[in-house]
Amino acid sequence: MTDAARTTATITRLGQQGDGVAEGPLFAPRTLPGEVVSGIVSGSQLTEVRIETPSETRVQAPCRHYKSCGGCQLQHASDAFVADWKVEVVKTALRAQGLETEFRPIHTSPSRSRRRATLTVRRTKKGAMAGFHGRASDVITPIPDCQLLDPALIRAIPLAEKLAMAGASRKAPLSVTLTASEVGLDVMVREGKPLDGSLRLELARIAGQNGVARLTWGDEQVLMEQPPVQAFGPARVCPPPGSFLQATKDGEAALLSAVQEITKGAKRLVDLFAGCGTFALPLAQDAEVHAVEGERDMIAALDAGWRRAQGLKKITSEVRDLFRNPLLPEDLNPFAAHFDAAVIDPPRAGGEAQIAQLAQARTPVIAYVSCNPVTFARDAKTLVAAGYCLNWVQVVDQFRWSAHTELAASFTLDS
């Protein structure tokens, strides 16, 4: 390709996926605002990108796999740039709804702290190869020196390869989800060969020799050496295979600390989209909690964890679809009782229906945990219009080097 065929552009901002965006819009991966870049235009993408004038915020990627691996998007930017950008993403979403508030300094999880990862594992002529998909490709990049994952997950790469040698078909790669637990690895495999007696025995043997606490193959449990428990406050919970877990223990602690501060002093709490009790169980050290969640197995895990724990106040729980059937004012303010505070931690779609009911019920304190600044800002507007004050936002970055942004926010009712 001659230089004449190349287009030059100046990056003005980052898009939602962390790609640089130039006028057009023209998306250039792994570029930064202010950079002059050149490349070949292909639709709205700039390919074969060359950095002509680098930004001062450009750094050498800390991971040697970054060039080929698609696992991270923002290792070419300084930590300070990423931190400012993530806070700005939330401020921009709030401004679009006419809102402003105080922002606490961002909390970023350390490198090598991600406690769950899904590896793609392909059989090869010599054995098997595990890693992440390359950038925008099906090619698997091996990641022995990954800077993102908890070392326990890195140590399990050979295990993932052994599982593929035993149970992957020649056609499709395995998808192996590794989760670090308090007692060993929780391993969930998808796209494997159908289980038969001898495969089951072989998989159990491999898992047993490699420190696996639980192995789930498709929907079947192959081995349960020990329940792969997570510690939520004083409780130990065995989550259903693959169910939601905060991405890092450190990020979970930062979110919990914000939620505890917001709801301090509450005697009765409702935890909405409660999962397996990440917040409900630690909060039950000081308050009675009603935990509501859509997945029956998660509520069962939460309830079992509560029953085994010592020194917690009462937790009641309910399986409920909070999009279609949110808790109503009469549920939130039952006769002679009411919830002093609500914790709400919805999926990316946000909590529109439930937030409207909380506002109507006038629940005095709301701790909102969000993984999507846009739906958070939409719901924040509903609360503010109903008379709530958005006191502060704490951005928590547990998806380091990605474009993903999480936060906790404090709302109280203006009296």
Report the catalytic residues: 371
CB 178 within 8 A of CB 150: no
- Helix pair 373-385, 352-361: axis angle to 10 deg: 20
Of 328, 307, 339, nearest in space to 235 by CA = 307
Query: Contact 135/29 with Cβ under 8 angstroms?
Result: yes
Applying CB under 6 A, among 66, 81, 132, 279 the residue interacting with ligand SAM is 279
17: which 2 tokens?
A: 């996926």
Segment contacting ligand SAM (CB under 6 A): 33-41, 69-77, 212-220, 294-302? 294-302
| Distance of closest approach, residue 16 Cβ to ligand SAM, in angstroms | 19
Residue 274 is a binding residue for ligand SAM (CB under 6 A) = yes
CA distance 106 to 89: 12
Q: Is 9 in the site for ligand SAM (CB under 6 A)?
A: no
Q: How far is the CB of 361 from ligand SAM (least distance, A)?
A: 17
Our finding on whether 246 is near ligand SAM (CB under 6 A) is: yes
d(CA 369, CA 258): 9
CA atoms of 350 and 393, how far apart (whole Å): 16
- How far is Cα 23 from Cα 3, in angstroms, rounded to an integer? 20
Task: Kindly tell me which residue out of 230, 278, 372, 394 binds ligand SAM, with binding defined by CB under 6 A.
Answer: 278
Segment holding 72, helix H or strand E = none
Min separation Cβ 402 and ligand SAM, Å: 16
Q: Minimum CB separation from ligand SAM for residue 127, in Å?
A: 36
- Residue with Cβ nearer ligand SAM (29 or 282): 282
Under the criterion CB under 6 A, does residue 293 sit at the interface with ligand SAM?
Answer: yes
Q: Which tokens go with 288? A: 């009675």
Least separation in angstroms between residue 380's CB and ligand SAM is 17
Binding mask 338-357 for ligand SAM (x = CB under 6 A): -------xxx----------
Which is closer to ligand SAM, CB of 323 or CB of 392? Answer: 323
CB atoms within 10 A of CB 347: 15
Q: Which residue has the tokens 């991600």?
A: 114
Q: How far apart are CA 389 and CA 410, in angstroms?
A: 8
Dihedral, CA atoms, 365, 368, 369, 370, nearest 10 degrees?
A: 180
Only one residue has tokens 């009712």, namely: 413
242 touches ligand SAM (CB under 6 A): no
Site string for ligand SAM, 297-336 (x = CB under 6 A): -x----------------------xxx-------------
Which of 20, 29, 228, 275 is close enough to bind ligand SAM by CB under 6 A? 275
| Other CB atoms within 10 A of residue 412 CB | 15
Binding mask 44-63 for ligand SAM (x = CB under 6 A): --------------------
- Residue 326 DSSP label: P
Asked whether the beta carbons of 105 and 34 are under 8 A apart, the reply is: no
The three-state secondary structure class of 202 is: helix
State the nearest-atom distance from the C-beta of 293 to ligand SAM, in Å. 5
Select 87 or 299, whichever has its Cβ closest to ligand SAM.
Answer: 299
Binding of ligand SAM at residue 106 (CB under 6 A)? Answer: no
Among 54, 294, 329, 364, binds ligand SAM (CB under 6 A): 294
Nearer to ligand SAM, 77 or 298 (CB): 298
Sites of contact with ligand SAM (CB under 6 A) = 244, 246, 273-275, 278-279, 293-295, 298, 321-323, 345-347, 371
